[in-house]
Amino acid sequence: MDMIVLIIIAALLVIMAVVILIGKGDNLIAGYNTASQAERAQYNVKRLRGLLGGLLLVLAPMLFLLHGQNTMEGMCSFISIMMLLCIVVVILANTWAKKKFK
């Protein structure tokens, strides 16, 4: 039963990643969808899409590493890796994906 749930969640992550990467899912990007036009103009949306779509594509297969982790060590290492990836993407979204104004 739990493997079916993991497959469904991974499939949803892949679907959301594809929608974001093809440019039809800007409303799925947290913060970007509620930003004003002036705030949106500060970001390179193609880079932002690439970052977040890539993150979702990496997280989807990583969910299968969670399956079979019965020890606290395994769970902590899995969660640590996922948190590190998310922190890196947040930093890149606020640096690399921002437009440079002269």
Structure tokens at 79: 């969660």
- Start-end of H helices in 1-102: 2-21, 37-40, 45-66, 72-95
pLDDT in tens, 15-43: 999 999 999 988 888 888 888 999 888 99
Which tens digit of pLDDT belongs to each residue from 36-77? 999 888 999 999 999 999 999 999 988 887 777 777 887 888
The pTM of this model reads 0.84
